[in-house]
Amino acid sequence: METKSLLNVAKEYGSPVYVYDSQKIISQYKRLTSAFDKVKRLKVNYAVKALSNLSILKLMKSLGAGLDTVSVQEVKLGLAAGFQAEQIIFTPNGVSLEEIEEVAALGAQINIDNLSILEQFGTKHPNIPVCVRINPHVMAGGNTNISVGHIDSKFGISIHQIPHILRIVENTGMKVNGIHMHTGSDILDIDVFLYASEILFETAKSFKDLEFIDFGSGFKVPYKEGDIETNIEELGEKLTERFNDFCEEYGKDLTLAFEPGKFLVSEAGNFLAKVNVVKQTTSTVFAQVDSGFNHLIRPMLYGSRHEIINISNPKGRERFYSVVGYICETDTFANNRRINEISEGDILAFKNSGAYCFTMSSNYNSRYRPAEVLIHEGKSHLIHKRETFDDILKNQVEVDIFKKPAKMGK
């Protein structure tokens, strides 16, 4: 996205503001589908939790994607965006049976990841096909916060519990139409992913009525120049060959499904914030912006690195800055980062802010959540209004119980 376009967005819509480039989303989608163009039946289910704006969901629908959802609210967002229920898979964790039944009544594909709910749902609804999420006990990446396939993960049913799954299926008469895994984010080693896939293929042999195998996602995107990323083309070549061989062995053509979120939208996003104060201390120069971890929590929560560009002075000499927010506690985006010289009033762009950024924002310190803008075919479109004080108050209920002075204890 060009610097001039970002500056124009900041000028028109104010700051802080999230900006998304539709062309980058489209190119990432095409890159993934092209890598697997030799699979007869491919389904890309966009992970709504990454960026759940309705306009983004409608863009995904126009590309031919389905949706991967983790809450009944996300399912309803998908329906509101125009998706058919059968285009949506529901992959929750730790939700109640009642929520799963609510989603099943809407018609979405159910994906169950624990034995207790599997048995309860199969007993009550044996005629509703379900997918089963397997934990392959394979670690993806190196961060346990975003790796969900390891042995101590709360996600999925252990591969060692396959006999339990089969017993439940036999006793309830339920139908399993899909097998699923998700090892976690930031897949660095394709061979590790392929190893986990072999576990999934072996598991799939135990189920005779499968329609699809869902390999999750977790494809790594680059966060800085020269950063490593998942080689989608190599993965496509190797997994396609193995998947097609398995389908021949299985006796029918299955659908190969993925559920990318970050891969599709992360690089499409820029978060723009204005520098309120440049503060020099005895050892550090702070650039203090009109935002904080209430808007972009990933650096504080995950230690994630977002490249920061001073788009107001992109050719200025580089200096070292610690970029911090206006939240009333430790609120750091970057420590001692080389950035083109910053002055008060400059606009900083935080790259790779399309995934798990706005969706994880909050009203902490009673701050408003920012606006969202989509750049499509060279034009900017406001797709989410900046909050106002009325939004802070609208769900609060005033109770008239303080007419008399409160009694103070002795």
In a domain, 401, yes or no: no
Annotated active-site residue in 131, 247, 328, 357: 328
In a domain, 16, yes or no: no
Distance CA 35, CA 29 (A): 10
In a domain, 410, yes or no: no
Q: Which residues contact 99 (CB under 8 A, 6 or more apart)?
A: 71, 72, 92
For residue 150, pLDDT beyond 50: no
Residue range 173-188, pLDDT digits in tens: 999 999 999 876 567 6
Give catalytic status of residue 131 as yes or no: no
Q: What is the count of structural domains for the chain? A: 2
Q: Cβ of 303: how many Cβ atoms within 10 Å?
A: 9
In a domain, 188, yes or no: yes
Residue range 384-394, pLDDT digits in tens: 999 999 999 99
In a domain, 337, yes or no: yes
Residue range 13-52, pLDDT digits in tens: 999 999 999 999 999 999 999 999 999 999 999 999 999 9
In a domain, 396, yes or no: no
Contact 262/221 with Cβ under 8 angstroms? yes
In a domain, 11, yes or no: no
- Domain membership of residue 288 as a residue range: 266-388
In a domain, 200, yes or no: yes
Within this chain, do residues 235 and 285 fall inside the same structural domain, yes or no?
no
Within this chain, do residues 291 and 249 fall inside the same structural domain, yes or no?
no
Q: Which residues pair with 338 in a beta bridge?
A: 320
Within this chain, do residues 278 and 330 fall inside the same structural domain, yes or no?
yes
Structure tokens given for 89: 């898979």
For residue 103, pLDDT beyond 80: yes
Within this chain, do residues 184 and 36 fall inside the same structural domain, yes or no?
yes
pLDDT of 137: 86
